[in-house]
């Protein structure tokens, strides 16, 4: 059994208690990449698309890499829809929050808003404004998000595309999560 803290309420904890807790958290973070990859694999199932949700993620990342995107951006492309696994109502925010400590402000912003920007391709069929994203058009990363969707996300439902396998991307995920996380509170 692992060592235990002395307290039952945080207000009674000591520095030694928190040292113990934070060391445990540090060790847990070493398994984060493996847990995320496991989570991604759960998206490999039936879908109404011609490919699985996992293959959509892989294809998005493949296109990003072939377009010369840096490794961080490729991982963001790989994980951009991972929020669908537990939070389909706000999957963009989940992916953005999960990656935020390890990525640039630009990639965070693109992940956070990609769902809205993808709406350009479907909202008009449901009497919604497909240009709703244009409320953000003066933001410095607006065009990056338009391009992410146009070139990588909305195109990546093709069963005939030469998509790279998950094993190809795992080292990139591991390298990203091996970095020191930025505080995000």
**Which residues of this chain interact with Fe ion, rule CB under 5 A?**
81, 153
Write down how long the chain is. Answer: 185
Min CB(156)–Fe ion separation in Å:
7
Min CB(131)–Fe ion separation in Å:
18
Burial class (CB in 10 A: 0-12, 13-18, 19+), 144: middle
Min CB(2)–Fe ion separation in Å:
38
Min CB(47)–Fe ion separation in Å:
12
How many of the other CB atoms lie within 10 Å of CB of 88?
Answer: 10
Q: Which is nearer to Fe ion, 37 or 79 (CB)?
A: 79
Q: Which is nearer to Fe ion, 18 or 66 (CB)?
A: 66
CA-to-CA separations, 122 to 47, 99, 118, 127, 153, in angstroms, rounded: 17, 26, 8, 10, 13
Q: Which is nearer to Fe ion, 55 or 81 (CB)?
A: 81
Q: Which is nearer to Fe ion, 110 or 176 (CB)?
A: 110
* 3-state class (DSSP) for residue 123: helix
């Amino acid at each position: 059994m692992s060592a235990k803290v002395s307290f039952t309420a945080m207000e009674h904890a000591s520095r030694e208690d928190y040292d113990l807790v934070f060391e445990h958290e540090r060790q847990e973070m070493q398994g984060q990449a493996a847990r995320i990859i496991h989570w991604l694999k759960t998206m490999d199932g039936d879908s109404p698309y011609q490919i699985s949700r996992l293959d959509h993620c892989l294809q998005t990342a493949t296109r990003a890499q072939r377009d010369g995107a840096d490794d961080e951006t490729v991982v963001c492309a790989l994980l951009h829809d991972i929020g669908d696994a537990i939070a389909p109502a706000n999957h963009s925010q989940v992916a953005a929050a999960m990656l935020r400590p390890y990525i640039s402000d630009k990639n965070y912003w693109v992940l956070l808003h990609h769902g809205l920007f993808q709406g350009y391709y479907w909202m008009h069929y449901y009497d919604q404004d497909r240009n709703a994203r244009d409320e953000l058009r003066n933001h410095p990363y607006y065009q990056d998000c338009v391009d992410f969707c146009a070139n990588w996300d909305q195109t990546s439902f093709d069963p005939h595309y030469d998509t790279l396998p998950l094993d190809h991307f795992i080292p990139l995920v591991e390298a990203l999560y091996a970095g020191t996380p930025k505080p995000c509170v």
